[in-house]
Amino acid sequence: MDDTSVPQAAITEVPAKFGDGVVLLDVREDDEWQRGHAPDAQHIPMGDIPSRLAEIDNQAELYVVCHAGGRSQRVAQYLARNGYDPINVTGGMLAWAGAGRPVVTDDGSAGTV
């Protein structure tokens, strides 16, 4: 796998809040998302990305996250080939939660990774 084609961001380099041109794209499966996700993240499962590209802001500062960083790396490479400028989140949601960042469910209660 060619890791050089997509920038990597350690969790300390990833913004804690999203919106206003900064997007955290969570590409995990629905069941993973429902257990817990970053507040204000955008959820499109990895397999749905090709058919839902139009939903992703190609002008945004775009961080891509999954559980541990593997799937998001593949999605980020795909996005890079399709005109986006994505940044893969090293360590994924495991790193997010490990850094003490909030993990919520859709109703706003505490979630798990």
Tell me the catalytic residues. Answer: 66
CA distance 78 to 81: 5
Per DSSP, the three-state class of 25 is strand
Beta bridge partners of 25: 42, 64
